[in-house]
Chain A
């Protein structure tokens, strides 16, 4: 399907790299973690990148790369969902807002409501009590994004903030998230409209290099 869209055939592919959680099971010439792939993709699109923030569904990664684009260090959230896309999903549901609308909605806020708990379950009950307290949906939405941004910025500080920052992954398309994160880190963040395929792009780039070297 994807091959058709791209107008290529399977046998025209010289070297395949699998990445992501299923990478070990895919038929490929080799597998590379999504961390290395996201880094390669981000550096390709924004060559000045030194820090990559990837907020995914289950986990969040902060990756530091050298000026040459090699991964130097990275940090991931622990097993709990706070600071991940999952947190946003749960909160959107608690707020009864579509997940795609949560970000734009948050930008309308002028009085963000604080979500202070670092536990998703507790955070959800905070959202519910803000709703019950009559707070505006936009203000709660902003609070939700600030909570994630706060959590992620802690992770960023663990590897050290180094400009430029680039966001990758699907959550990067959420303007509320970009705005909150940029505010939390007091620095602008690079964003590409195709952010969700940055990892795949990176995998392709690594495949090309590996193949050429071989």
Chain B
């Protein structure tokens, strides 16, 4: 791999291994500006950037959960539990505010618990995104909601003239992520690295991220090293970016993840128009989100999206990696799997839970899946 890629990967790994150190460092460079945490999968980042702030994706880690057990029950996904553990043990105290998108029943109530218990440390706000994307009502509502949220987290209304630059910045962030994903389909890199690089896109300032990715994309790519791994697609984690340690199991099993719909929120919203009413434009982009389990969309649209990924990348199989206790994903799985089976595409369902030393069993399942694929 080229040096630009090595630099991108090293920076991303360092940032995600200790995001709060990066936040502290960024804040010392930008006195008086706010660092605003957000929960997956998506909140509009433009109002934060428009005020000169830093949006920070909160992804938790594989730390053992102890304190969070006193606040939320164990029938919630590992992301929610691990982020809550970090928040309640003071790891996020360097943030000025945290935004919750109430996209599932767990996030609604867990956000409410943070508000109840942590609002002395930072502001806890809801970006109350609509669940439905159809019809004019959702767009009008979201526009007004974004104005409200922007005023709340920034302490004042941000003038519209500050927006075009912020919108352009986030558009380019989306381009960088998409550009990287296209690049990696042609340059198979370990899935663990993909997860780290995508995750860092929500922590690093968008300008810094873009500079690093642009360098990778602009270097005339050396011919990819021959890879014997079997190409597959992963779906089921529209809110999550697993810990790289866990994703290493794919690489070790000899599976190359050529496409995925991990953390689809930011990646799955199209570019926002730069001119005109910024809030209306952001709302318009949101309402065109890619189909995912946590939005109200027709089953068929998500099925098409995944089948297209399999076909375009000539994937040999699909892994459904579904977070334990994630009701929306488990609902979608039923028809999606039916569709995949009808087409006789090899597939496997793994329930995903970060931590708990689950990698042993994950490894066995993935290796066995790779063995069945290599026999075909």
Q: Which chain A residue has the least Cβ–Cβ distance from B351?
A: A78
A22: shortest Cβ distance to chain B, in Å? 10
B358: interface (CB < 8 Å): yes
Chain A CB within 8 A of B365 CB: yes
Alpha-carbon distance A72/B353, docked complex (angstroms) = 26
CA separation between A72 and B341, bound complex, in Å?
Answer: 12
**Which size bracket describes the interface of B in this complex?**
10 to 19
Asked if A32 and B361 make an inter-chain contact with CB atoms under 8 angstroms apart, the answer reads no
- Set of chain B residues within 8 Å of A33, measured between Cβ atoms: 364, 367-368, 371
Q: Which residues of A contact B324 (CB under 8 A)?
A: 78
Q: Which of B324, B351, B358, B371 has the most C-beta atoms of chain A within 10 angstroms of its own C-beta?
A: B371
A197 within 8 A of B: no
Assembled-state Cα–Cα distance A72/B349 (Å):
14
Question: What residue of chain A has the Cβ atom nearest to residue B353's Cβ?
Answer: A79
State the Cβ distance, B148 to closest chain A Cβ, in Å: 41
Chain B residues, Cβ within 8 Å of A72? 372
What 1/0 flags go to A21-49 for Cβ under 8 Å of B? 10010000001111110000000000000
A74 is an interface residue with CB less than 8 A from chain B: yes
Contact B360 A21 (CB under 8 A): yes
Indicate if A73 sits at the interface (CB-CB under 8 A): yes
Contact A74 B361 (CB under 8 A): no
* B361 CB contacts on chain A under 8 angstroms: 59, 76, 79
* Contacting pair B364 A21 (CB below 8 A): yes
Inter-chain CA distance A31–B356, complex, in Å, is 25
Mark out the residues of chain A between 48 and 80 whose CB falls within 8 Å of any chain B CB in the assembled complex.
59, 70-76, 78-79
Q: Is there an interface contact between B364 and A79, defined as CB atoms closer than 8 Å?
A: no
Minimum CB–CB distance from B338 to chain A (whole Å) comes to 13
B70 proximal to A (CB < 8 A): no
A53→B372 CA distance, assembly (Å): 17
A36 to B366, CA, bound (A): 12
Say yes or no: A79 contacts B358, CB within 8 Å: yes
CB atoms of B360 and A35 under 8 A apart: no
> Is B356 a contact of A79 with CB atoms below 8 Å?
yes
On chain A, the residues within 8 Å of B365 by CB distance are: 76
- B345-376 residues with Cβ-Cβ distance < 8 A to A are 346, 348-349, 351, 353, 356, 358, 360-361, 363-365, 367-368, 371-372, 375
Give the chain A neighbours of B367 by CB distance below 8 A. Answer: 31-33
Q: Select from chain B the residue with minimum beta-carbon distance to A20.
A: B364
**Would you call A71 and B371 a contact (CB within 8 A)?**
yes
Kindly report which residue of chain A lies nearest to residue B341, judged by CB atoms: A73
A73-96: which residues lie under 8 A (CB-CB) from chain B?
73-76, 78-79
List residues of chain B with CB within 8 A of the CB of A21. Answer: 360, 364
A70 touches B356 (CB 8 A): no
Please tell me if the beta carbons of A73 and B356 are within 8 angstroms of each other in the complex: no
A68 nearest CB across to chain B (Å) = 9
- Smallest CB-CB separation from B253: which chain A residue? A33
Interchain CB contact (< 8 A) of B375 among A34, A70, A75, A79 = A70
A71 engages B372 (CB within 8 Å): yes
Which A residues touch B349, using CB under 8 A? 75
Give the residue name and chain of the B residue nearest to A158 (CB): B349
Smallest Cβ-Cβ distance to B371: which chain A residue: A36
User: Bound complex: CA of A36 vs CA of B349, how far in Å?
Assistant: 17
Tell me the complex Cα distance, A75–B350, Å.
9
B372 touching A73 by the CB < 8 A rule? yes
B353 touches A70 (CB 8 A): no
Q: A79-B353, A79-B356 are in contact. Are A70 and B364 (CB under 8 A)?
A: no
Residues on the B chain within 8 Å of A34, using CB: 364
Complex-state Cα separation, A170 to B39, whole angstroms: 46
In the bound complex, residues from chain B placing their C-beta under 8 Å from that of A75 are 349
Contacts of A78 in B (CB 8 A): 324, 351
Q: Are B368 and A74 in contact (CB under 8 A)?
A: yes
Cα distance A7–B180 in the bound complex, in angstroms: 57
Known: A21-B360, A33-B364, A33-B367. A79 touches B372 (CB 8 A): no
A76 to B228, CA, bound (A): 27
Q: Which of A32, A34, A76 has the most CB of B within 10 A?
A: A76
A35→B373 CA distance, assembly (Å): 13
Closest to A70 in B: B375
Minimal beta-carbon separation of A70 from chain B (angstroms):
5
For the complex of A and B, the 7 pairs showing the least CB-CB separation, nearest first, are A35-B368, A33-B368, A33-B367, A71-B372, A36-B371, A70-B375, A78-B351
11 pairs from A and B in contact (CB 8 Å cutoff): A21-B360, A24-B252, A32-B371, A35-B371, A36-B371, A70-B372, A72-B372, A74-B348, A78-B351, A79-B351, A79-B356
Q: Mark A residues whose CB is within 8 Å of B.
A: 21, 24, 31-36, 59, 70-76, 78-79
* Seed contacts A36-B371, A72-B372; 6 additional CB < 8 Å A-B pairs: A33-B364, A33-B371, A73-B372, A76-B365, A78-B351, A79-B361
